[in-house]
């Protein structure tokens, strides 16, 4: 899925290498859609930082968020609460959350989504966040939260509505939301088998969408 990914200095992997002061050649095998709102490029950059750190003995940059807001949490490589512009992280203990990810293979312009926010001073998540003993508790809490970027993203790409409707109709789907600034959406399930079967059903009905069962934790 590397089509359209920049191969010059705009690429986050190469920006990460430059931040480390390293000259390196990379082969990127990309399995996530580009510009999908699931941090694929940031994850690649974080992997590059870890690799270069191991090879050189040099620590990653002190402020990786200047490369991209999602890079610090990708460096942490675990569930976390993100604050500030992504640089303030609090590890979060989550039970495994079976999920289905869906991208309708459209890009959402991030700038337009943020520009479309009705307001930027909405109430924050509770502090501290609750703890969860099982997927059902975690999903019940997440159902009370929101993604402020979802309404403007849905306006920019109405197909997101179709994706969310399809996810909510899946057997066993407990919650469906959009990820990040879109257009990837997800449904959460209580059992891994339900997520796997839901992904199979959805893939049969929507052959043009990117669909992947996974587990979030």
When pLDDT is averaged across residues 144-148 and rounded to a whole number, the result is 95
193's tokens: 């088998």
Work out the pLDDT band at 46, boundaries 50, 70, 90. very high
Q: Rounded CA gap, 19 and 64, in Å? A: 9
Q: Does domain 93-216 have CATH number 3.30.70.890?
A: yes
Question: How far is the first Cα of the chain from the last one, in angstroms, to the nearest whole number?
Answer: 25
**Which residue ranges does the chain devote to CATH 3.30.70.890?**
93-216
What single string gives the DSSP state of each residue in 31-82? -S-TT-SS-HHHHHHHHHHHHHHHHH-PPPPS-GGGT-TTHHHHHHTS-EEE
When pLDDT is averaged across residues 15-19 and rounded to a whole number, the result is 94
- Mind listing the pLDDT tens digit for each residue in 55-73? 999 999 999 999 999 999 9
Work out the pLDDT band at 112, boundaries 50, 70, 90. confident
pLDDT of 146: 95
40's tokens: 């694929």
Closest to 57 in 3D by CA, of 16, 20, 14, 12? 20
Helix (H, G, I), strand (E, B) or coil at 136: helix
107's tokens: 């890009």
23's tokens: 């000259």
What average pLDDT is seen over the chain?
Answer: 94
- Mind listing the pLDDT tens digit for each residue in 62-104? 999 999 999 999 999 999 999 998 999 999 999 999 999 999 9
């Amino acid at each position: 899925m590397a089509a359209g990914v920049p191969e010059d200095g705009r690429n986050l992997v190469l920006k990460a290498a430059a931040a480390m002061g390293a000259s390196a050649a990379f082969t990127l095998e990309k399995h996530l859609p580009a510009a999908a709102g699931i941090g694929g490029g940031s994850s690649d950059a974080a992997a590059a930082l870890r690799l270069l750190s191991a090879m050189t003995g040099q620590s990653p940059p002190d402020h990786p968020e200047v490369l991209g807001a999602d890079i610090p949490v990708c460096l942490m490589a675990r569930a976390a609460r993100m604050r500030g512009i992504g640089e303030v992280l609090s590890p979060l203990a989550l039970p495994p959350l079976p999920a289905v990810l869906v991208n309708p293979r459209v890009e959402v312009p991030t700038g337009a989504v943020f520009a479309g926010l009705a307001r930027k001073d909405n109430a924050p998540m509770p502090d501290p966040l609750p703890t969860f003993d099982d997927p059902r508790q975690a999903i019940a809490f997440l159902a009370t939260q929101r993604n402020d970027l979802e309404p403007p993203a849905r306006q920019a790409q109405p197909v997101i509505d179709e994706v969310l409707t399809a996810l909510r109709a899946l057997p066993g789907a407990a919650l469906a939301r959009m990820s990040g600034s879109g257009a990837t959406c997800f449904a959460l399930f209580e059992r891994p088998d339900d997520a796997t079967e839901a992904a199979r059903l959805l893939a049969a009905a929507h052959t043009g969408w990117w669909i992947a069962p996974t587990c979030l934790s």
